[in-house]
Chains A and B, each alone.
Chain A
Amino acid sequence: MRHHLVLRVVSKLLIPFMLLFALYVQFHGDFGPGGGFQAGVIFAAAFILYALVFGIDHAREVLPERVLRYLVPAGLALYTLTGFAGIVLGGKYLDYDVLGSTPTAGQHLGILLVEFGVGVTVSAVMVTVFFAYAGRTRDVDEEDW
């Protein structure tokens, strides 16, 4: 892709805005349309675009697979731990009311935390799936078909 000057310049311009938009969708999700799943997909799309244009090896340097291996479960763990925080603070599992000083503040914090967990897991899984397929070497050579 070395000769695709336009693609490289445009995607370099776009990627920061994609990441920023993903964060907006993530953290505005409790007020407007959006949330962890959509944000995670947009966030991952930025990385996938980078990998498509600059090559998968560069993308792996930015986001190594050993990091992804921890990011995927970290999101789920965050979600579950938020649930347990409800129990520890005297409520039920996933009870957000007790997380903040008032029930409203607690609900706000709770939904932000679990949606952030969803976002982390979704984006990490999307990138992992892309790496897994894009990084596959051919089992059969072209000539052997």
Chain B
Amino acid sequence: MAFLDHVAILQVAVPLLAAPLCVMLPGRHLPWALTLSVSWFTLICSVVLLSEVSAGGSIAYHLGNWPPPIGIEYRVDAINALVLLVVSGISAIALPYARTSVEHEIEPDKHGLFYTAYLLCLTGLLGVTITGDAFNIFVFLEISSLSTYVLVATGARLDRRALSAAYTYLVLGTVGATFFVLGVGLLYMVTGTLNLADLAERLPPLAESRVVQAAFAFVVAGMGLKLALFPLHAWLPNAYAYAPSLVTVFLAATATKVSVYVLLRFVYTVFGHEFAFIEPVLAWLVLPLAVIAMLAGSVVAIHQDNLKRMFAWSSIAQIGYMMLGLALANASGLTATVLHLFNHALMKGALFMALGGVMLRIGAVSLTSVRGLAREMPWTFAALVIGGLGLIGVPGTVGFVSKWYLILAAIEKGWWLLALLIAAASLLAVIYVWKLVEAAYLQPAPQDRERVRDMPPDMLIPLWVLALANIWFGVDAGLTTSVAGTVVHAFLGGGS
């Protein structure tokens, strides 16, 4: 029972086993300790997996020893190893932070159930990423989505609007998942297989089939909803704004990224370039929507008073960047998407962690309530500024690296206007980040607010780990760009 032989399945099966055990654990500290150790275990697994596949090649694991395409296969290559690292890494960093934050925000007798839902969400997201079976993606997607609805709804203790946010997310998320499974069903109908690698071999001769084209449309629409591509983003701002802090950190950093990965996988591996109908869909549908998301998301973010909502709208804009890279479909564009998937997780993880600390100290996260707070919580707001600089794309932060590739991709195509629009969206980010900086640093503190201390160290250290990662991967992007290079090479079949 060598660890290396089974690392792919342990990545998913250990959190899956931990979830039912977590319900049975008494008290508040044991469930947290279990979730923490499982998160660290999954991080170790994904580091091992990434180091095995980063040079190219892939790892396959056949569940129950049934060979594919009959059995379910887990297949890890560079792209999903990177996404696994994002999901498990954010979870591992967020869990030490979680103890104080969750104790403040969740009813004491619900901690076991809360962490169980969290573990199921982690299982689902890791499962979607690692599996090489189209229907298995749907199953894990539902595991993660159903637990996410519960997690969002637990925010109701602080703000009752979490309930309606969770309900909206439930309805729209279910529509998205249903569209996806309809697409998978159509593919199964014409090919008789659910294995992604097998689908990729059997689909090219069927490129002219209406059924295959409809399947593609269903998959794109379903995943578009799940990843909150404009105009299918309506569920996102409220879900992020009213969820408990830990949930917002985890979801904002991972959930939409996993959906972006699934879309990348379907567009570039399962369907591939042989399909003439994909290019116009990307160029005439996804690209304009991505540009609108980029601009509209930022403009709406400027007008938000609730900071969690502000950064939720900024997430919609940032997803626009990722989809733009995907739609540009050249090497630089895809590199930008893969890099931004990783980098945005770092930025939004840090930003929402900092807001969680503000929530802990003053119980609100609006522009008016944080006036003058930077003098009282200097470390928290310094990290917020680093994350904000990343959103703008200032050199030296992670945001710069991915935007650089994105602008490069637009220029390579000769689309100067698009490059200008990307820069314009960055300028819009300057405005909303500046509004936060101005309120926190330059305005006087309201008289009626009591003086507060900075975040406790167990929350501050994870926050700063992420904040420093924002700078580290911005200055030394060697690891991320080399993985992105491997991914793009695999997607485009040799740098076309």
Contacts and interface: CB of A to CB of B under 8 A. Distances in A.
Given A87-B1, A90-B1, A77 B64 contact: no
Contacts of B62: 92
A93 interface: yes
A81 B21 CA distance: 11
B24 interface: yes
A91 interface: yes
A86 interface: yes
B64 A93 contact: yes
B51 interface: no
Contacts of B447: none
Given A84-B17, A88-B1, A90-B1, A72 B61 contact: no
A39 to B, nearest CB: 19
Contact of A84 (B13, B21, B23, B24): B13
Contacts of A83: 13
Contacts of A72: 20, 23
A109 interface: no
Interface in B1-49: 1, 6, 9, 13, 16-17, 19-21, 23-24
B496 interface: no
Contacts of B21: 73, 77
B59 interface: no
Contacts of B424: none
Contacts of A73: 19-21, 23-24, 116
A76 B64 contact: no
A58 to B, nearest CB: 26
Given A88-B1, A90-B1, A92-B9, A81 B17 contact: yes
Contact of B65 (A69, A80, A81, A92): A92
Contact of A97 (B20, B63, B65): B65
Contact of B64 (A70, A80, A96): A96
B55 to A, nearest CB: 25
Given A70-B24, A95-B65, A77 B6 contact: no
Given A92-B63, A92-B64, A95-B64, A80 B1 contact: no
B401 to A, nearest CB: 37
Interface string B197-215: 0000000000000000000
A95 B61 CA distance: 12
B19 A76 contact: yes
A84 B61 CA distance: 14
A112 interface: no
Contacts of B9: 87, 92-93
Interface in A56-86: 69-70, 72-74, 76-77, 80-81, 83-84, 86
Given A90-B1, A92-B62, A95-B65, A80 B13 contact: yes
A80 B63 contact: no
A81 B16 CA distance: 10
A77 to B, nearest CB: 4
A87 B116 CA distance: 24
A92 B60 CA distance: 12
Contact of B20 (A77, A87, A95, A96): A77
Contacts of B63: 92-94
A72 B112 CA distance: 14
A70 B6 CA distance: 29
B64 A86 contact: yes
A76 B13 contact: no
Interface string A103-128: 00000000000000000000000000
Contacts of A92: 6, 9, 61-65
Contact of B16 (A80, A87, A91): A80
B64 A94 contact: yes
Nearest to A93: B9
21 contacts: A69-B24, A70-B23, A70-B24, A73-B24, A74-B20, A74-B24, A77-B20, A80-B16, A83-B13, A84-B17, A90-B1, A91-B65, A92-B9, A92-B63, A92-B65, A93-B6, A93-B9, A94-B63, A94-B64, A95-B65, A96-B64
Interface of A: 69-70, 72-74, 76-77, 80-81, 83-84, 86-88, 90-97
**List of 5 A-B pairs having minimum Cβ-Cβ separation, nearest first:** A73-B20, A94-B64, A77-B20, A80-B17, A93-B9
